[in-house]
A and B are shown apart, each in its own frame.
Chain A
């Protein structure tokens, strides 16, 4: 049984976890292999334990996430340690990283110039982020676009991307894509975790300058449609697609205004992934 924590460096934050449950460690090994492990005695932004839901329960066993001596969520089935760790870890990070503006956005970069994909859940953000990454972009984040309000830079936060349902097949068929196990029937349907490529993990402490913002929206069968967004409108939409815009008060307002002014923004509706990628490449070449 493993007693000490395993610490992963995600870039802008470090997360440590301990668990006596071996199947969870096997899932971690698959998804976090390329991250390497840090000294567990070092500083962790989030430190959790994944423990058996109830030690005496023999049937339909569960796994529970403990943080600071309490259990913020209902337990998951014992085999679903990784989704619980990923989801719970995100929730805890979002509570604690208010030194930054946290956008709900995929972030990618070329030559340290960043493309931001802010979007509501269900708009195809993760699929597009992973597809762009596999097409050669550096991966900074899928869930959290971490903006440092002091420097105006985006910081990588390399959580594995949680792909849902159809996206699992679409991204999984790519020869370079590496996915963790598929978890069936979670609250969000089937989920599998996409592991960012090694180069991006190695660059997890390299910030990028924001250049282009695209609000993506996938719609089955839609023709590609790209509309420019006015700076003021982009700033407001960035606020709406943020985890902590309200909490940050004037810091958040200043940050989204500065970000919108430093970038060009577009809305992109698409039904074909490769056409969207080609269009984004062209936009980026023109504006970044």
Chain B
């Protein structure tokens, strides 16, 4: 069974990997849907040499391509600076977008990154953080509560940025929240990691990259408009599936790390939306969700992750689905005994902020 996709979304997702020939009205809709989901860079990369593009569409894709090239250059510059801090005394893994770019993954063409994610062993997290500070990176200003949230309950340090540069650096010591139900010993990730040629960085093994993308998508964050995470899973699986024995290793690894459920969801939605080729019986081999969870997720995930009609504010079912997915995320991240005080405190702070401050205008520094 496949959760159905609208014709527009089918066109959009297909046009991320192959040139599309359609009329200008459809193109305008696709451009808008792609911008909503930050997929416009990939749309541009796949249609770069498409001779059928109407002139205004070509202009918009060129615009997206340039923004993306700049983003990529900032990523590479940041990684070059960070490489100087890796002295080889402990492994430093680049994960997510940074890794895809350094590996030259095909699906990384046109992919925007919002930050640079590094994974280091927990014992060396402080050393790495101090190295960054000594070299000029500055951590985000946080109140003591948020600071403690990051330190004790999260799997990353507060984001750091080098003044004047564009991308933040996030230091992680695990790929799942330490308080969550999917928590496992990240040492296994380092053991299986792979050294990159001409670089001091390492990356996760191909199987672990797929698992990380699935965890990140279905367990670690807000799902609103995040269909691009599924596009990543599709790209990773397609790239890795050319290696002998990939599927067997992937399924075994998911069992070892206890990540079968996120993998099931990742493969399920990648197959449904991106027609990702799966090994025969791969989904059945995984202990998937219960029938109830599955039918709920089949209803809620498309509403939350896929773009809605760009002409209108998000309709009520979309808002409900996003809220439900956010609640699910929080519940998985920490047990209710920690979650309730955490959210209560956040709500109280927000309320207090409303009375002590005039509502801040959103940023207008960049026109």
* Chain A residues engaging chain B, CB cutoff 8 angstroms: 18, 41-45, 47, 49, 51, 66, 68-74, 90-91, 94, 96-99, 104, 187, 243, 246-249, 251
Q: Which residues of A contact B312 (CB under 8 A)?
A: 49, 66, 69
Q: Which residues of B contact A248 (CB under 8 A)?
A: 66, 70
- Whether A43 and B56, one on each chain, are in contact in the complex, defined by CB atoms closer than 8 angstroms, is yes
- Whether B36 and A70, one on each chain, are in contact in the complex, defined by CB atoms closer than 8 angstroms, is yes
- Whether A97 and B313, one on each chain, are in contact in the complex, defined by CB atoms closer than 8 angstroms, is no
User: B288-340: which residues lie under 8 A (CB-CB) from chain A?
Assistant: 307-314
Q: Which residues of A contact B309 (CB under 8 A)?
A: 69
- Whether A49 and B359, one on each chain, are in contact in the complex, defined by CB atoms closer than 8 angstroms, is no
B243 within 8 A of A: no
Task: Name the CB-closest residue of B to A44.
Answer: B28
Q: Which residues of A contact B307 (CB under 8 A)?
A: 68-69
Q: Within the complex, which residue of B27, B60, B64 is in contact with A45, where a contact is CB–CB below 8 Å?
A: B60
- Whether A94 and B67, one on each chain, are in contact in the complex, defined by CB atoms closer than 8 angstroms, is no
Q: Within the complex, which residue of A18, A73, A249, A251 is in contact with B73, where a contact is CB–CB below 8 Å?
A: A249
Q: Which residues of B contact A96 (CB under 8 A)?
A: 60, 63
Q: Within the complex, which residue of B59, B310, B362, B364 is in contact with A68, where a contact is CB–CB below 8 Å?
A: B310
B35 within 8 A of A: yes
- Whether A47 and B32, one on each chain, are in contact in the complex, defined by CB atoms closer than 8 angstroms, is yes
B361 within 8 A of A: yes
Task: Name the CB-closest residue of B to A5.
Answer: B311
Q: Which residues of A contact B70 (CB under 8 A)?
A: 246-249
B280 within 8 A of A: no
- Whether B36 and A68, one on each chain, are in contact in the complex, defined by CB atoms closer than 8 angstroms, is yes
Task: Name the CB-closest residue of A to B309.
Answer: A69
Total A-B residue contacts, Cβ distance less than 8 Å: 79
Chain B contact residues, majority secondary structure: helix
User: B22-51: which residues lie under 8 A (CB-CB) from chain A?
Assistant: 24-25, 27-28, 32, 35-36
A51 CA / B360 CA spacing, docked (Å):
20
- Whether A98 and B32, one on each chain, are in contact in the complex, defined by CB atoms closer than 8 angstroms, is no
- Min CB gap A103→B, angstroms: 12
- Whether A94 and B367, one on each chain, are in contact in the complex, defined by CB atoms closer than 8 angstroms, is yes
Contacts A/B (CB < 8 Å), 8 sampled: A41-B25, A47-B310, A69-B307, A69-B311, A71-B313, A96-B63, A98-B66, A187-B361
B20 within 8 A of A: no
A45 CA / B28 CA spacing, docked (Å):
8
B54 within 8 A of A: yes
Q: Which 6 A-B pairs have the closest CB atoms?
A: A98-B63, A99-B59, A68-B310, A98-B66, A99-B62, A68-B36
B278 within 8 A of A: no
B69 within 8 A of A: yes
Asked whether A45 and B32 contact (CB < 8 A) given A73-B361, A248-B66, the answer is no
Q: Which residues of B contact A69 (CB under 8 A)?
A: 36, 307-314
- The 8 A CB mask of B85-114 against A (1 = contact, 0 = none) is 000000000000000000000000000000
Task: Name the CB-closest residue of B to A91.
Answer: B367
Asked whether A68 and B66 contact (CB < 8 A) given A43-B54, A91-B364, A187-B361, the answer is no
Task: Name the CB-closest residue of B to A51.
Answer: B313
A74 CA / B362 CA spacing, docked (Å):
6
7 more contacts with CB within 8 A, not counting A42-B24, A43-B25, A97-B63, are A47-B310, A68-B307, A69-B36, A69-B310, A69-B314, A94-B367, A99-B66
- Min CB gap B12→A, angstroms: 13
Task: Name the CB-closest residue of A to B61.
Answer: A99
- Whether A74 and B361, one on each chain, are in contact in the complex, defined by CB atoms closer than 8 angstroms, is yes
- Min CB gap A274→B, angstroms: 31
Q: Which residues of A contact B62 (CB under 8 A)?
A: 98-99
- The 8 A CB mask of B350-367 against A (1 = contact, 0 = none) is 000000000111101001
Asked whether A43 and B28 contact (CB < 8 A) given A70-B36, A72-B362, A247-B70, the answer is yes
Of A72, A94, A247, the most chain B CB neighbours within 10 A belong to A247
Of B35, B307, B308, B314, the most chain A CB neighbours within 10 A belong to B35
Task: Name the CB-closest residue of B to A87.
Answer: B364
- Whether A247 and B66, one on each chain, are in contact in the complex, defined by CB atoms closer than 8 angstroms, is yes
Q: Which residues of A contact B73 (CB under 8 A)?
A: 249
A243 CA / B63 CA spacing, docked (Å):
13
Q: Which residues of B contact A187 (CB under 8 A)?
A: 361
Q: Which residues of B contact A99 (CB under 8 A)?
A: 59-60, 62-63, 66
